[in-house]
Each structure stands twice: as structure tokens, then as C-alpha cells.
Amino acid sequence: MSAPPKTELSASPDEERSIRAAVRTAPIDGLGPARRIARREDAEAVVDLLADPAVSAAIYDLPQRINRTTITEWIEAAEQDRQAGRGLLILTGNPGQQVTGYSRITVWPERSSAELAGALRAGAQGSGAGGAGAAHTIGWIFEALGVRLVCLTAATDNVRSIRLIDRMGFRRMGERTAVRPDGSTRTSCYWEMTAEEWRALKARLAGAPDR
């Protein structure tokens, strides 16, 4: 399960209420085409995505067994988090069609912080789509949800994700122990970025000359 960021921020009651409300009413269309909140009727399509170890093996907070029952429960728990203003499970793919990826956003409103996790189908990995999508989603988390800090983790042997996160400008802050649903642990690399750092990076990129 996700652990709060190493950096401890404190949100005012008004800020916390605002973040919770934003999570509940988040404008998902701002993330791009074919993005939508996961529903229990999506379970079969999500199982089809996650049954591929190339997609799910590196993700520590998925159900231990991938089947219709466990994924339905996972989706329902995510919906409870959304209603509580504490998280979002977002799918890529139109209803009735193949799900090509997902994003799981965990939010700590009382700390004005969030974490992003997710995956793409194996065929899309390494194509650049994941990096562009992750960067866009990070910006959306800061701007649409109003948090002041985003953290990320990646398994120490997940070279592709580590390089991607470093390229996005996140500050690497050592390692942390991630706990899987079955209680086992995994050592992960750990990064953070503040809203101020994101805005500065966005401004630099906007002013960079075309190559």
C-alpha cells in the first residue's frame, strides 16, 4: 500500500476541504482523450491489462492475484477513495474497448500531497507515450487537484521508470520500503517534486528554443 511522502506538509482545513472536493469532482477529460474513472463493470478489461506480467510485475500495490473478483474489489476500493477525496483510479480506453493503461493517484489531503502510479500495455512501453502521459498527469495533479507535493517510487531494478522520473526533473530522495498487499516488502527508489518546482520546470520548458 502507498505510504505518505517523506516530506511532511500540513494543509489548512480549507485547503484540505478544497483538495477533497477537487478529487471527487476532478475533470478527467483534462487528462486527454479516452480517460475515465474506473467502474466495476471495467473489471474484465482491467484483468486483461494486468494479467500480463510485463505490465503488472513491477507494481507493488496491485492485488496479489489478478482475477475478476480481486480486480472488482480493487476498483470498488478506489471508488470509495474517490468519494472520500483520497484517490482516483483512471483508465485509458473507451468503454467496451481494450484498456491500454491506468493511472492510480493516491491523495493525502491533510498533507496537500499525492502519489502517482500506473502502467501501459507492453506494446506501448518504451514508445515515449508513457513519459508524455506521466508528465501531463503530474501537471494535472498539481493544477486540477491543488496539491503542493507529488511523490513517485520505482523498483530499484526498473531502469526504464528510473530514467523517466529522473528526466522529468523529480528530486531523488534515497529509497523507501514499499509494502505489498500480502505484507511482503520491496525496496524502491523514491522521488519528490513540489508545485513550485513543477511551475519553474514548466516555465523553463516553455521558454526553451525549438530543437
Per-residue confidence (pLDDT) for residue 194, from 0 to 100: 98
Calpha distance 32→136 (Å, rounded): 9
Phi, psi for residue 23 in degrees, rounded to 5 = -65, -45
- 113 to each of 140, 151, 159, 194, 202, how far by Cα in Å? 13, 8, 25, 9, 19
Please, what is the angle between helix 68-83 and helix 43-50, to 10°? 110
Beta bridge partners of 201: none
Per-residue confidence (pLDDT) for residue 114, from 0 to 100: 98
Calpha distance 78→103 (Å, rounded): 11
* DSSP label at residue 143: I
Per-residue confidence (pLDDT) for residue 211, from 0 to 100: 44
- Classified as helix, coil or strand, 162 is helix
Per-residue confidence (pLDDT) for residue 124, from 0 to 100: 60
Q: pLDDT per position in the chain (211 positions), as tens?
A: 578 999 999 999 999 999 999 999 988 988 988 899 999 999 999 999 999 998 888 788 889 899 999 999 999 999 999 999 999 999 999 888 899 999 999 999 999 999 999 988 876 655 555 567 788 899 999 999 999 999 999 989 889 889 999 999 999 999 999 877 777 888 999 999 999 999 998 888 777 554 4
Calpha distance 85→7 (Å, rounded): 21
Contacts of 28 (CB under 8 A, 6+ apart): 35, 36, 37, 88, 90
Helix (H) / strand (E) element for 170: namely none
Calpha distance 123→167 (Å, rounded): 22
- The helices-and-strands tally (H runs, E runs) of the chain is 7, 7
Is the Cβ–Cβ distance between 5 and 149 less than 8 Å?
Answer: yes
Per-residue confidence (pLDDT) for residue 60, from 0 to 100: 81
